[in-house]
Amino acid sequence: KQDVVKIQAAVATAPSTPLDIRELELDEPRADEVTVRLVASGVCHTDAIVRDQWYPVPLPAVLGHEGSGIVTAVGAAVTDLAVGDSVVLAPASCGVCEQCITGHPQYCVDFYALNFGGSRTDGSSSLTSDGERISSNFFGQSSFATFTNVSARNAVKVAGDAPLELLGPLGCGIMTGSGAVLNVLRPAAGESIAIFGTGAVGLAGMLAAVAAGATTIIMVDIVPERLDFALELGATHTVNSREVDPVERIREITGGQGVQYALDTTGVPPVFAQMTKSLAIRGHGALVGAAKLGTEAPFDIGSLLTSGITVSMVVEGDSVPREFIPRLIALYERGLFPFDKLVKRYEFADINTAFEDSESGVTIKPVLVF
Question: Can residue 44 be called a binding residue for Zn ion (CB under 5 A)?
Answer: yes
Q: Which is closer to Zn ion, CB of 27 or CB of 264?
A: 264
Distance of closest approach, residue 340 Cβ to ligand NAD, in angstroms: 16
Using alpha carbons, list the distances in angstroms from residue 139 to 57, 87, 98, 148, 270.
11, 15, 20, 12, 29
Distance of closest approach, residue 176 Cβ to Zn ion, in angstroms: 7
Q: Would you say 134 and 11 are in contact if contact means Cβ atoms under 8 Å apart?
A: yes
Q: Would you say 197 and 220 are in contact if contact means Cβ atoms under 8 Å apart?
A: yes
Question: Can residue 271 be called a binding residue for ligand NAD (CB under 6 A)?
Answer: yes
For the beta carbon of residue 360, count every other beta carbon within 10 angstroms. 8
Q: How far apart are CA 115 and CA 131, in angstroms?
A: 23
Cα torsion for 199, 317, 39, 80, to the nearest 10°? -170
Query: Which amino acid belongs to residue 163?
Result: P
Question: Can residue 176 be called a binding residue for ligand NAD (CB under 6 A)?
Answer: yes
Question: Can residue 197 be called a binding residue for ligand NAD (CB under 6 A)?
Answer: yes
Question: Can residue 88 be called a binding residue for Zn ion (CB under 5 A)?
Answer: no
Q: Which is closer to ligand NAD, CB of 46 or CB of 125?
A: 46
- Residue 135 DSSP code: B
Residue nearest to ligand NAD (CB): 199
Q: Which is closer to ligand NAD, CB of 30 or CB of 45?
A: 45
Among 21, 97, 268, 273, binds ligand NAD (CB under 6 A): 268
Q: How far apart are CA 246 and CA 240, in angstroms?
A: 8
Q: How far apart are CA 222 and CA 339, in angstroms?
A: 22
Q: Kindly indicate which of the ranges 42-50, 74-82, 111-119, 158-166 contains the residues binding ligand NAD, using the contact rule CB under 6 A.
A: 42-50
Strands (E), 122-258: 127-129, 132-134, 147-151, 155-158, 192-196, 216-221, 237-240
Give 1's contacts (C-beta < 8 A, 6+ positions apart).
Answer: 28
**Interaction residues for ligand NAD, span 302-331 (CB under 6 A):** 314-316
Q: Which is closer to ligand NAD, CB of 78 or CB of 114?
A: 114
Question: Can residue 315 be called a binding residue for Zn ion (CB under 5 A)?
Answer: no
Among 265, 276, 278, 319, binds ligand NAD (CB under 6 A): 265
Q: Kindly indicate which of the ranges 28-36, 164-172, 196-204, 305-313 contains the residues binding Zn ion, using the contact rule CB under 5 A.
A: 164-172
Q: 327 by DSSP, 3-state: which?
A: helix
Among 67, 118, 140, 199, binds ligand NAD (CB under 6 A): 199
Q: Which is closer to Zn ion, CB of 172 or CB of 315?
A: 172
Distance of closest approach, residue 198 Cβ to ligand NAD, in angstroms: 5
Among 62, 78, 94, 172, binds Zn ion (CB under 5 A): 172
Using alpha carbons, list the distances in angstroms from residue 5 to 27, 126, 128, 198, 334.
7, 10, 11, 40, 39
Question: Can residue 168 be called a binding residue for ligand NAD (CB under 6 A)?
Answer: no
Size of the site for Zn ion (CB under 5 A): 3
Q: Would you say 328 and 317 are in contact if contact means Cβ atoms under 8 Å apart?
A: no
Among 12, 62, 114, 201, binds ligand NAD (CB under 6 A): 201
Residues at the site binding Zn ion, with contacts judged by CB under 5 A: 44, 46, 172
Residues at the site binding ligand NAD, with contacts judged by CB under 6 A: 44-46, 49, 172-173, 176, 196-202, 220-223, 226, 241, 265-268, 271, 288-290, 314-316, 361
